[in-house]
Amino acid sequence: MKPGILVARAVFPEVIERLSQHFEVESNQDDVLFTPDQLIAKLQGKAGVMSTSSSRFDADVLARLPDLKIVANMAVGYDNIDVAACTARGVMASNTPDVLNETTADFGWALLMATARRITESEHWLRAGKWEKWRYDYFLGADLHGSTLGIIGMGRIGQAIARRSMGFDMRVIYHNRSRLSEQQEAHANHAVYVSKEELLRTADHVVLVLPYSSESRHTIAAAELELMKPGATLVNLARGGIVDDTALITALKAKKIAAAGLDVFENEPKFHPDFLGLENVVLTPHIASASAPTRKAMANCAADNLIAALSQQRPPNLLNPETFRQV
């Protein structure tokens, strides 16, 4: 008999078909957002789950899932999974790194450019029928070329963003848990390692691409926004909660920084309503990795992890290798 799995959110039909060759699949193509109790009920007797950041797997949930062997997240971020609790129960956990690096870096640039050059703000104004003449000072923005780009979180996506800055003749500074090798720095447009404070004081454009954890919560709050240049832009591609959104709204209202571009929010999708009243912010609904080929690659990567885990092979993106030895 094939093992049973749950695909917890809607996904490409061909991926469901592929999984069905290996498993008894319960899918959720109506994309119902399960409560924790509903998720637990659906997972009784199931050996695996394909999950996204909207499903939490903490110690309490895992304790009620005795048959579960793998949580395969369709995301590079895995702050919805308590990996230590998985390990304690012998449950494998996996994510989908690498396949989304370049697409997410492209989007980081789209958001950075839209924010610095006031693209959405000016489009809203045009659509509202306000354009009657050309003026020298309409929608003056900040230049990208020749400016200093500060990247907080210099993993694979951060490095891909830095590489793209070569074409804009930018200086790159970065802050990260650990310094890159000389070779990696050279490849990332000769990025220079600095403290977080120096980065915030010096950068014209700050991009956040660090993973969320209890330590990275509110990496940017009121004190950090105070350090930034008045003309600076801030882009958050990482996770809601890395920025203190209330402090950011206060700073944007007071023009302490020029503008922000946000793909992620605290409590998304129910983000802070005051963002909607601000002109100096570009808002997108957590779509940085959303190109068709990349989302398909992410879904297939999560499927690869499930298929390997439930056929006694090591999942290619196993986050807790200790559990594989326990199988």
Q: Would you tell me which residues interact with ligand DGY (CB under 6 A)?
A: 53, 75-77, 100, 289
Q: Give the nearer residue to ligand DGY in terms of CB position, either 220 or 258.
A: 220
For residues 31 and 24, what is the distance between their CA atoms, to the nearest angstrom? 19
Q: Give the nearer residue to ligand DGY in terms of CB position, either 75 or 170.
A: 75
Q: Give the nearer residue to ligand DGY in terms of CB position, either 73 or 320.
A: 73
Q: Write down the least CB distance from residue 79 to ligand DGY, Å.
A: 9
For residues 43 and 6, what is the distance between their CA atoms, to the nearest angstrom? 7
Q: Write down the least CB distance from residue 100 to ligand DGY, Å.
A: 6
Question: Cβ distance 234 to 208 under 8 Å?
Answer: yes
Q: Write down the least CB distance from residue 202 to ligand DGY, Å.
A: 28
Number of residue whose CB is nearest ligand DGY:
77
* Token reading at 252: 């944007």
Q: Write down the least CB distance from residue 299 to ligand DGY, Å.
A: 11
Question: Cβ distance 271 to 265 under 8 Å?
Answer: yes
Which of left, alpha, beta for 323 (phi over 0: left; psi -120 to 50: alpha)?
A: alpha
* Token reading at 205: 């454009």
Q: Give the nearer residue to ligand DGY in terms of CB position, either 94 or 289.
A: 289
Q: HSE (CB half, 13 Å, CA atoms) of 91?
A: 29
Helix (H) or strand (E) holding 48: strand 48-51
Q: Give the nearer residue to ligand DGY in terms of CB position, either 104 or 189.
A: 104
Q: What share of residues in the chain are helix, strand, coil (percent, to 5)?
A: 35, 15, 50
For residues 225 and 33, what is the distance between their CA atoms, to the nearest angstrom? 35
Q: Give the nearer residue to ligand DGY in terms of CB position, either 6 or 242.
A: 242
Catalytic residue positions? Answer: 239, 268, 286
φ, ψ of residue 143 to 5 degrees: the values are: -80, 145
Q: How many CB atoms lie within 10 A of CB 166?
A: 12
Q: Write down the least CB distance from residue 296 to ligand DGY, Å.
A: 14
92-94 and 70-73 as β-strands: parallel, antiparallel, unpaired?
Answer: parallel
* Token reading at 59: 């110690």
> For the chain, first and last CA: distance in Å?
19
Q: Write down the least CB distance from residue 158 to ligand DGY, Å.
A: 14
* Token reading at 282: 């570009």
